[in-house]
Amino acid sequence: MRNVWEADTTLELEAAKPVELTLDHCIKCNICVTVCPVSAVTDLFPGPKYEAPQAGRFRQNKQPTPDYSVDYCSGCRACNLACPTGVKIAEINARARNDIVEEDKQSGRNKLRNNLVARPELLGKFGQPVAPLANFLLHGGIGRFFADKLLGIAPKAPLPVFSREKFSGWLKKRSAPANATRKIVYFRGCSTEYFEPRVGKAAVQVLEANGFEVLVPEQNCCGLPLLSNGEFDAARGYHESNIKKLIDYVKQGYVIVGTSTSCTLTLKEEAPELLDYFTEDARLLAANTFDLNEFLTMLLDAGELKTDGLRPIPLRLAYHQPCQFKAHRIGRPSVEIMDLIPELEIVESEATCCGVAGTYGYKSEKYQVAMDVGRPLFEFIHEVNGPVNVCDSETCRWQITAATGQASVHPIELLSAAYGYPPEGELAKVLLPLS
Amino acid sequence: MSNNNDVLVVGAGLAGLTAVWQLAAQQKKVRLVSKGWGATHWHSGCIDVLGYYPIDEGQPVESPGVTLAKLIADQPEHPYALVGVAGVETALTAFQTLCAEAGYPLHGSLDKNWLLPSAVGTFRPTCLAPETMIAGDLRRDDPMLIVGIKQLVDFYPNIVAENLVKQGVEAAHLMLDLPKLAQRNFNTPISIGSIMAQADFRKDLVQQIKPKLGKAKRVGLPAILGRQPSLAIKEDLEKQLGVPVFEIPGLPPSLPGMRLHAILLQAIERAGGRVYHGLEGVGIENEGGRVTAVLTEAASRPKAHRFERYVVATGGILGGGIVTNHHGEARELVFDLPVTLPESRLDWFEQDFMDPKGHPVYRAGLTVNAQFQPVNGGSQPVYENVYAAGITLSHSEVIRERSFEGVALSTGFAVGNLLAQ
């Protein structure tokens, strides 16, 4: 039998299910309306049922868009998960947004802004090498004033901080562990490379502790920010390039793991589905891509995860599962993994969404909506009142921290610390006094 | 995940949630997976146990307890026969205790059905009703004022009141125009339910109703008294109005149904059970007469859930647990269990659409043995570790009998307790 860390290259590849046709499954039961966090706080978005299965009927055959309110869908997918009949609401809305972009109906300012925020890789490549200057421009009062006025980026938008060191720079300085018995590919995502290398370091450490040699091939942005800003053609370019750069590893039998739940979801499903991109290579890549914690639970089930000698972490921490992780539809693997750490108490958030939804909450016209959507989560974080909180997705972490003033870490940072690796950043400040 | 996973329940209606609640409360390692949310967001928030029997006589059941015994004697294959009257009573009492502890009591018992107004002004027999509805009791003769809100388009107070009057109930009606709601273009019970939590909005509402009370001694509203399982909004309105207030459940989304859903979810999570929605059951793995995994649809590949035992609570044809096609085939969707239904599609229906006897297809479902295990003729289970609960069971007509929540709750409760042993 195949080991869980070996890629499945003999898949029976299923045909794609058509996105738009699912609107015929809608029975108008309104359950989506009960879970939509956006329509709950603003009239600018009339709700999932209205936008997708109803307005969707008027959007077929490349007819002009009947309604621009669909741009206020944050793409969180809470509706998809609640729908009892399987309407692909968020995907229908994403495609409708793409139609608006293709019709070129956005204002020039929003178009420029969306083009920018949808390209974290480009921003990272230019900004990271001059991190102190870039951070000054991005986070200083003057920079933000002009960003708001000229670009429509909200003055308080939770933008990331460029890291002084790139993840790939750190990786180059290390040599592969001598005792590795198996290989795995790590999809780092833009945020690990340019903003939060500590997450990638923790991932590499955990995988190495489990006997893996971690390969980090050249790779591009997964394209999700482009997909959620309606730039499908550009997203297709990125996805094509990622397939080229990664598919040979899959064919050699290696699986791909990632710490950014939105990147892995894009490789698994978002890109192929939204772009109708179902080549054999695209499907092979999708079928062999895993969220890192999802993969660790599989190792755990197979009895192959290192669980002995874990150091206790005597903390009570709030955990919020990002929408983009819920959308993998695999339960809550991170909680299963964090449960292994002695003395760590995880309090799970039942809030729907932090509001930021990738780049949605950066935009001046949507910033307040995003903050209102996130309010129940922020209240929960304050209530638990830990020294840090835990969340799998980078933009959600930045949003939570900006809104609550509390640092936010990735679950893998906790496991890495429990394995005995020195924590970094805010987690170091919390854990070092305890040890 | 493979270490000691006791029970996986498929389906998040009242039956599935109740089974998981019972299992989790008895320290079993349980998980519930469902395609989405469902029946709990649609139903009235009352527990109908038996409203009409015999159905074609069209008379509301006075005492569900007494009539239930007769139904069980007449129909030994009915799901209620598997549970027994005592089993139904145990489930109802446990659920009432749970709701009372959550600060949202359900009133009533098997002794007597309530008669409450429906959203079209008919008499609605139900066994347990939340405290937010019982002032609508139609056996009382104090006059009522039915109040609608112009901005909530799914509730028509004139229809409710006029139909009640025709049946001898003293009822007047009033339609309010609330400017504060006009600020929003799209009002649903969800948006109004949340604005009802604001004291100044309630004050506006009361100020519009009070001068129009006339001789009314109670006020009926659409079911908008808050999303949370709480009596706070109702009690505040009553204090300000000086008369009892009651809700009339209407079109989905149903806040009273969602309150019961919230109470069950909380109880499950508190006891360490897990509920994952958005995970549609699509198949199984099996070996030697046992199911070894349920597969759910997920991004890019199915996810396997490996448990000792499995409960199917995915509902019937209406709920989506069973699908039929025009070739006359019927199939249970996750485990591919055999469905009890007349062989020929021609025999699924009577000649008349409105036949008072109903149509045989209404009784379609899974046939189970005394241990709630689906069987294929006889009493031998199809799989030794698969059980069924709720509306997916055959031999009942839950909508026409008005037994929907009673069948779901009592069979879910029974299966949960059976598997907790």
DSSP B14-74: HHHHHHHHHHHHTT--EEEEESS--GGGTS-SSB-S-SBSSGGG-PBPS-HHHHHHHHHHH
Beta strands across the sheet bearing A182-187? A212-215, A182-187, A256-258, A289-291
CA distance A163 to B317: 56
Give the pLDDT of residue B1: 41
- Contact yes or no for B303 and A331 at CB 8 A: yes
Whether the per-residue pLDDT at B40 is higher than 60: the answer is yes
- Give the closest of A40, A84, A331 to B35, CB-based: A84
* Positions of E strands within A269-358: 289-291, 316-320, 345-348
> How far B110 CA lies from chain A's nearest CA (Å)?
31
Residues in chain B with CB shorter than 8 Å from the CB of A29 are 41-42, 252-253
**Closest residue by Cα to residue B128 from B49, B69, B55:** B49
- Contact yes or no for A43 and B303 at CB 8 A: no
User: A-contacting residues of B 285-344, CB under 8 Å?
Assistant: 296-301, 303, 306, 319-320
Both structure tokens of A265: 């979801």
Residues in chain B with CB shorter than 8 Å from the CB of A336 are 1
Sign of CA dihedral B133, B134, B136, B142: negative
User: A-contacting residues of B 33-52, CB under 8 Å?
Assistant: 35-38, 41-42
Whether the per-residue pLDDT at B347 is higher than 90: the answer is yes
- Give the closest of A43, A301, A327 to B185, CB-based: A43
Residues recorded for chain B: 421
- Give the closest of A29, A46, A326 to B42, CB-based: A29
More confident residue, B390 or A65: B390
Q: What is the DSSP letter of B374?
A: B
Give the pLDDT of residue B23: 98
CA B255, B392, B57 angle in degrees (round to 5)? 80
Residue of B nearest to A78 (CA): B278
More confident residue, A59 or B419: B419
Whether the CB of B249 is below 8 Å from some CB of chain A: the reply is no
- Contact yes or no for B42 and A329 at CB 8 A: no
Rounded average pLDDT over B290-304: 96
> How far A164 CA lies from chain B's nearest CA (Å)?
35
- Contact yes or no for A30 and B276 at CB 8 A: no
Residues in chain A with CB shorter than 8 Å from the CB of B4 are none
Give the pLDDT of residue A62: 66
Chain A / chain B CB contacts < 8 angstroms: 99
Whether the CB of B31 is below 8 Å from some CB of chain A: the reply is yes
Rounded average pLDDT over B51-58: 92
- Contact yes or no for A336 and B252 at CB 8 A: no
Residue of B nearest to A326 (CA): B278
> How far A15 CA lies from chain B's nearest CA (Å)?
11
Residues in chain A with CB shorter than 8 Å from the CB of B36 are 31, 81-86
> How far A224 CA lies from chain B's nearest CA (Å)?
15
Residue A37, Cβ density class (10 Å: 0-12 exposed, 13-18 middle, ≥19 buried): buried
- Contact yes or no for B253 and A286 at CB 8 A: no
Count CB-CB contacts under 10 A for residue A261.
28
Give the pLDDT of residue B182: 78
* Preferred mutation among A330, A346, A380 to probe B, highest tally of B CBs within 10 A: A330
> How far A268 CA lies from chain B's nearest CA (Å)?
5
Whether the per-residue pLDDT at B315 is higher than 70: the answer is yes
CA distance B275 to B368: 25
Whether the per-residue pLDDT at B292 is higher than 70: the answer is yes
- Give the closest of B36, B188, B298 to A83, CB-based: B36
CA distance A259 to A329: 16
Beta-carbon contacts of B143 under 8 Å, excluding residues fewer than 6 positions away, are: B170, B171, B172, B214, B215, B216, B217, B218
User: A-contacting residues of B 107-136, CB under 8 Å?
Assistant: none
Q: What is the pLDDT of residues B399-418, one digit of tens each?
A: 999 999 999 999 999 999 99
Phi-psi region of A274 (alpha: psi -120 to 50; beta: other; left: phi over 0): alpha
- Contact yes or no for B280 and A86 at CB 8 A: yes
| pLDDT tier at B377, thresholds 50, 70, 90 | confident
> How far A17 CA lies from chain B's nearest CA (Å)?
12
* pTM as predicted: 0.95
Both structure tokens of A83: 């729908």
Sign of CA dihedral A372, A46, A225, A104: negative
Count CB-CB contacts under 10 A for residue B70.
13
- Contact yes or no for A301 and B1 at CB 8 A: yes
- Contact yes or no for B303 and A84 at CB 8 A: no
The CA-based diameter of chain B, rounded to the nearest angstrom, is 72
> How far A269 CA lies from chain B's nearest CA (Å)?
6
Whether the CB of B4 is below 8 Å from some CB of chain A: the reply is no
| pLDDT tier at B348, thresholds 50, 70, 90 | very high
Give the pLDDT of residue A43: 87
Whether the per-residue pLDDT at B2 is higher than 50: the answer is no
Residue of B nearest to A289 (CA): B300
**By the 8 A CB rule, do B414 and B82 touch?**
yes
Residues in chain B with CB shorter than 8 Å from the CB of A332 are 274, 276
- Contact yes or no for B300 and A269 at CB 8 A: yes
Whether the CB of B272 is below 8 Å from some CB of chain A: the reply is no
**By the 8 A CB rule, do B44 and B256 touch?**
yes
Question: Which amino acid, one-letter code, is at A198?
Answer: R
Q: A-side interface with B, Cβ within 8 Å?
A: 29-31, 33-35, 39-40, 43, 46-47, 50, 80-86, 265, 268-269, 286-287, 289, 297, 300-301, 326-332, 336, 350
Residues in chain B with CB shorter than 8 Å from the CB of A289 are 300
- Give the closest of B186, B190, B298 to A43, CB-based: B186
> How far B250 CA lies from chain A's nearest CA (Å)?
12
- Give the closest of B2, B252, B299 to A30, CB-based: B252
Q: Strand B322-324 vs strand B330-332: parallel, antiparallel, or unpaired?
A: antiparallel
> How far A51 CA lies from chain B's nearest CA (Å)?
12
**Closest residue by Cα to residue B79 from B50, B55, B57:** B50
Residues of chain A with pLDDT under 70: 12-17, 60-62
